[in-house]
Amino acid sequence: MQIRVSSKQLFEQLQERLQLRWIAGQRGESRSIEPGDSSARRPSLAGYLNTIYPNKVQIIGTEELQYLDGLEPRLRWEVLAKICHAKPTALIVAHDQSCPPDLRDAANETDTPLWVSPRRSHELQTYLQYHLARNLARRTTLHGVFMEVYSIGVLLTGDSGAGKSELALELVTRGHRLVADDAPEFTQIAPDVIDGTCPELLQDLLEVRGLGILNVKEMFGDTAVKRNKYLRLIVHLEQQEPQTNPKPIDRLYGDQGSRRVLELDVPKITLPVAAGRNLAVLVEAAVRSHILKGKGIDAAQTFIDRQAHQMRRHSPW
């Protein structure tokens, strides 16, 4: 998936938050930022005015304007030309400072978007870094139902007809929350953190066979849905065919493994689906067990240690 953010999109996303005004270079609205734009350079995607290693979004604060004002006219114009020649996605004048006419002219001549904000320069840099890093992060879409169970993000996966939506509906009735049905989107927002969200088209909706599409928020209230959650566990539903021999399962540890998502290994538990099994209770137990293991409490290892202790006690040697 090719990810990019154009200057027009960036302006619309941040206009209200940063109180931006577009004062010049309106024809440059198609300029964009892509994840690889800063891979071969030292600076970040957004930062203070830099003519040697130009950032994609250049912030012009009080010090930067004072620097420009201290240059002789010819050198000043050369610096402005160099800034615009780098084709930044946008230039932002901070702290509602008066924009120099020659900077405005240079922006219009080169179609360089020029914005003004009443925010201070360090506030602009902090928020722009966060916003761009999140919007340009690697992302993927997985098939399944993403839930919040006991405060952790759990992705329910399985073949079509395995009962994922019915299980999600039962978990919602037991007080857990729905994040996304069918096609949750996952974004790597940190080296070891994957955040899951719901596409706008599917917000608050759950499709259940025989019932059609249900609006979970309207049926169960605002507390039944959640906008996003970090992915911590995958529970895979595996249908058992009675005609075939069941797959052998480790009776001590169960069927546990991991799944690669955005180059991160996410713990995965496989639950056999069979008549009479209460999958909602099993998922809750799986999540509780995962939380305890994170605290260093492993029931299987405890049992093995007890057994080894008993064998040592009754050993004749």
- Residues known to be catalytic: 143, 164, 182, 251
User: Do the annotations mark residue 153 as ligand-binding?
Assistant: no
Tokens 């024809």 belong to residue = 27
Has 86 been labeled as part of a binding site?
Answer: no
- 160 among the known binding-site residues? yes
Q: Which amino acid does the sequence have at 282?
A: L
* 159 annotated binding-site participant: yes
Instruction: Confirm whether residue 158 is marked as ligand binding.
Output: yes
Q: According to the annotation, is 268 in a ligand binding site?
A: no
Dist. CA 59–CA 89, nearest whole Å: 11
Residues in Cβ contact with 65 at an 8 Å cutoff, skipping those fewer than 6 apart: 93, 97, 100
Dist CA 24 CA 295 (whole Å): 56
Please choose, from the candidates 48, 27, 136, the residue with its C-alpha nearest in 3D space to the C-alpha of residue 95. 48
Is 6 annotated in some ligand binding site?
Answer: no
The CA-to-CA distance between both ends of the chain, in Å, stands at: 64
Provide the 3-class DSSP secondary structure of residue 279.
helix
Task: Check: CB of residue 94 under 8 Å from CB of residue 115.
Answer: no
User: What is the four-CA torsion angle of 299, 158, 228, 254, rounded to 10 degrees?
Assistant: 10
The answer to whether 11 and 90 have CB atoms below 8 angstroms apart is yes
Sign, Cα dihedral of 144, 145, 146, 152 = negative
Q: Which helix (H) or strand (E) holds 302?
A: helix 299-314
Strand partners, 193: 190
36 is an annotated ligand-binding site residue: no
Q: Which of 218, 255, 237 is nearest to 168 (CA)?
A: 237
> Would strands 212-215 and 205-208 be described as parallel, antiparallel, or unpaired?
antiparallel
Report the alpha-carbon distance of residue 38 to residue 286 in Å, rounded.
41
Cα(259)–Cα(66) distance, integer angstroms: 54
305 is in an annotated binding site: no
Annotated binding site for Mg(2+): 165, 207
Annotated binding site: 158-165, 207
Annotated binding site for ATP: 158-165
